[in-house]
Amino acid sequence: MAKKSRKEEIITFNYPDDVVLAVNDLKIYFELKKFGFGNAGYVKAVDGVSFDLHKQEAIAIVGESGCGKTTLMKSILGLYEPREGKIIYKNEDINKHDRVTKRWYHSQVGYVQQDPFGAIAPFLSVRRILEEPLICNGIKEPGELDTRIRKVMEEVSLTPVDDFINKYPHMLSGGQQQRIVIARAMILQQKMMVADEPVSMLDASVRVEVLKLLEGLMLNHGLSVIYITHDLSTVRYFSERIFVMYAGRLVEKAKVNDLIFNHKHPYTEALLAATSEPDAANAKIYKEIPEGEPPSLLHPPPGCRYHPRCPKMIDGLCNVDNPPEFEVGPDHLVSCWLYKDDIKD
C-alpha cells in the first residue's frame, strides 16, 4: 500500500485481493493538431478495453502492429493519461495526480523491452545499469546494493556473476542483454511485469531459453505478467489467458487451449491460420488469409472494426453496431455478432 500520509480517498475500489490490476473501459485518444492549434480529430489507439489480471497469472495480448497493444502497455505503465476509464492497481487508481502513488506504482511494476540493445545504456556497465533503480528508490548503502545486484544476476542465470558485472552491453550476446533487462525489471522485487515482445529479437534457440527463464521467475516470485506479442506460437508455452486485440479493442478473451482449439472470432481464426508450423506440406498450399490491412484508428470503420475484412460479415448489423461481448463458454468472451443468441444458427 502507498504511504499513509496521503489525503483521504474520494473514490475507493473494492476489488478482491487476488486481482492485481484491473483495467476498466480504458480509452486512450491522441489528439491530432491542425496548424499547431486546431483540432484535426483523434487517433483512437485504445477504445474501451477492460480486463482483470490476477495474482501469479500470465496473460498475453496478441494483435497486429498498429492495433494499439503498445499504447495499452504504455498506459498500464502509467506513461499515458487515459481519456476515459481507469487503471486500478491493488485498489489504487494509478492515474490519480499524486506523486507518492505514482512513485510507489512505478516501483511495483517491471518493464521488459522488446529490443534489449536499445533498452540499456551502452555507456554503463552491468553493475551501473542494475544499480540505477535501487538508487532511485532510496537504497544507497554500497554493501546492500552489491548483494542485491548479485542476487538478481544469479536469478537470471548470468553466472559466474564476476564475469559479467563489470562488462558493457556491447560485450554481451543478445540473450545475455535480454537477461540484464529482465534483471533490471525485477530488482525491486516487483509484483507485476509487463513484457513487450521480449523474445522477438532473439534467435530461435535463445528464445526458448529466455521464455523458460521468465516462466521460472514467475513461479518463484509470484509475478503477474502481461505478455504482449504478435506471435501466437510462443504464447502457449507461457500464459494462461490470451486476449486478442484488433484496432483498439479486445475482440476475444479466452483460456489458451480454448483460444487455440475452440476459437470463435473470425479475426482469431485468421491469426491462427497465418501462424506457421514447421511442416514441409506448407510449401504446397496457399493460406487463406483476409486481404487488406488494419483500419486507420483516426477514422475507424463504424460497427465492428473487423467487418471490412471479415468473410462472415452480416450486412446491416456488423457495419452498423459495435458488437458487445458474448459469453460463449466459461471464461470465454467474444465480441462478434455471430454469437448473438438469435443469429447463432
Partner 1 sequence: MTKKEVLLKIENLNLHFKIRVGDVRAVDGVNFELYKNEAVVILGESGCGKTSLAKAILRLLPNNVKTYDGKVTLKGVETMEMDDELYRNEIRWNKISMVPQSAMTSLNPVLKVGNQVAEPLTIKGMDKKEALEKVREMFKHVGVPEDFINRYAFELSGGMTQRVAIAMALITVPDLIILDEPTSALDVLTQANIMNLLKRIKKEEDASYMLVTHDIATSSELADRVIVMYAGQIIEASEAELFFKKPLHPYSKKLMASVPKLRGTDELEFIEGKPPSLIGIDKVAGCRFAPRCAYKMEKCEVEAPPVYIKGDNKVKCWLYENKDEVD
Distance from C-alpha of 345 to C-alpha of 343, rounded to nearest angstrom: 6
CB nearer to partner 1: pick between 85 and 248: 248
Binding piece for partner 1, criterion CB under 8 A, among 17-25, 109-117, 151-159, 204-212: 204-212
**3-32 positions binding partner 1, by CB under 8 A:** none
Query: Coil, strand, or helix at residue 62?
Result: strand
- By CB under 8 A, tell whether 43 contacts partner 1: no
Binding piece for partner 1, criterion CB under 8 A, among 147-155, 188-196, 201-209, 328-336: 201-209
- By CB under 8 A, tell whether 184 contacts partner 1: no
Q: Which residues pair with 249 in a beta bridge?
A: 246
Distance from C-alpha of 298 to C-alpha of 47, rounded to nearest angstrom: 12
Query: Coil, strand, or helix at residue 152?
Result: helix
**77-116 positions binding partner 1, by CB under 8 A:** none
Distance from C-alpha of 12 to C-alpha of 19, rounded to nearest angstrom: 15
- By CB under 8 A, tell whether 308 contacts partner 1: no
Binder of partner 1 out of 2, 161, 165, 208 (CB under 8 A)? 208
Binder of partner 1 out of 273, 298, 320, 343 (CB under 8 A)? 273
Binder of partner 1 out of 286, 311, 341, 345 (CB under 8 A)? 286
Dihedral angle sign, alpha carbons of residues 203, 207, 213, 217: positive
- By CB under 8 A, tell whether 260 contacts partner 1: yes
- By CB under 8 A, tell whether 163 contacts partner 1: no
Taking the complex as a whole, the smallest distance from the CB of residue 316 to partner 1 amounts, in Å, to: 27
Taking the complex as a whole, the smallest distance from the CB of residue 196 to partner 1 amounts, in Å, to: 15
Binder of partner 1 out of 95, 234, 239, 268 (CB under 8 A)? 234
Give start and end residues of each alpha helix (H) in the chain: 69-76, 99-108, 116-119, 126-136, 142-155, 161-164, 174-186, 204-221, 232-235, 256-261, 266-274
Q: Which residue has the cell 529466455?
A: 210
Binding piece for partner 1, criterion CB under 8 A, among 49-57, 108-116, 281-289, 326-334: 281-289
Going by C-alpha positions, the residue among 229, 203, 6 that lies closest to residue 104 is 6
**135 grid coordinates:** 538508487
Going by C-alpha positions, the residue among 168, 58, 47, 45 that lies closest to residue 112 is 58
Distance from C-alpha of 210 to C-alpha of 200, rounded to nearest angstrom: 11
- By CB under 8 A, tell whether 270 contacts partner 1: yes
- By CB under 8 A, tell whether 278 contacts partner 1: yes
- By CB under 8 A, tell whether 233 contacts partner 1: yes
Binder of partner 1 out of 19, 217, 218, 232 (CB under 8 A)? 232
Going by C-alpha positions, the residue among 82, 16, 55 that lies closest to residue 192 is 55
Q: Report yes or no: 259 and 242 within 8 Å, Cβ to Cβ.
A: yes
- By CB under 8 A, tell whether 274 contacts partner 1: yes
Binding piece for partner 1, criterion CB under 8 A, among 19-27, 32-40, 267-275, 315-323: 267-275
Binding residues for partner 1 (CB under 8 A): 64-65, 173-175, 203-209, 211-212, 230-234, 236-237, 260-261, 270-280, 282-283, 286-287, 289-291, 293
